Amino acid sequence: MLDNGYIKQRLTEQFTDQVTGFDEPYGMLSFESLKDLNLKVLQFLYDDPDLRFQFLTDLTAVHYPHQKRRELAVVYHLHNLVDNIRIRYKVFTDIENPDVFTATKLFSSANWMERETYDFYGINFVGHPNLKRILNVDEMNYFPMRKEFPLEDQTRIDKDDAMFGR
């Protein structure tokens, strides 16, 4: 039977200490590797006859502004449809060099998800067939989901916080 322990065992057998950060929030196995290994790990998870993670449920990013040299994380949610198991896989990158290899050759669905992630976080998916903005205007010179701007102006006097549940 396929469970989180067996998935972790197979990953550590294949990649030894190159796959780290194992955790199980809410029962979902989560782990990470170096960004240069993302395609090797994804291909292994896809091809292994026991694991069969052949459906990319979601691909997004997270901005961690206080983690030096690991400010941006690309997050893959994969699903084994046969055994109905989901996992979360993360690769971290430096905000100054946000290059991560594209997963579009393995998962066709990664195409638009990577474009959206580029559009909002600025991740450069190396090898992507058409990496350009998908929702924001081309003239936008920043990435709106990065935590680089204050959420609101604390000096505003034209709004009543009671109207916002505070």
Ordered per-residue pLDDT tens for the chain, 166 residues: 799 999 999 999 999 999 999 999 999 999 999 999 999 999 999 999 999 999 999 999 999 999 999 999 999 999 999 999 999 999 999 999 999 999 999 999 999 999 999 999 999 999 999 999 999 999 999 999 999 877 666 676 776 667 666 5
Q: Is residue 103 in some structural domain?
A: yes
Indicate the residue type of 37. Answer: L
- pTM recorded for the entire structure: 0.90
How crowded is residue 108: how many other Cβ atoms within 10 Å of its Cβ? Answer: 10
What is the extent of the structural domain holding 89? 4-148
Residue type at 129?
A: P
C-alpha closest to that of 43 among 90, 109, 106: 106
User: Within 16-166, where are the H helices?
Assistant: 38-47, 110-121
Exposure string for 63-77, b = 16+ CB within 10 A, e = fewer: beeeeeebbbbbbbb
- Sheet of 85-93: strand order equals 19-23, 29-33, 85-93, 72-80, 55-63
Q: Is residue 164 in some structural domain?
A: no
What would you report as the CA-atom Rg of the chain, rounded to the nearest whole angstrom?
18
Q: Decide the pairing of beta strands 55-63 and 72-80.
A: antiparallel
CA distance 140 to 32: 31
- Report if residue 166 sits inside a domain: no
**Which pLDDT score, from 0 to 100, does residue 153 have?**
66
The total number of structural domains in the chain stands at: 1
Q: Give the orientation angle of helix 4-15 with respect to helix 38-47, to 10 degrees.
A: 130
pLDDT the model gives residue 1? 79
pLDDT at 149: 75
> Looking at this protein, which amino acid is placed at residue 4?
N
Is 162 part of a structural domain of the chain?
Answer: no
- The number of angstroms, rounded, from the C-alpha of 37 to the middle of its chain's C-alpha atoms is 14
Residue 157 belongs to a domain: no
CATH code assigned at 96: 3.30.460.80
d(CA 89, CA 66) in angstroms, rounded, equals 21
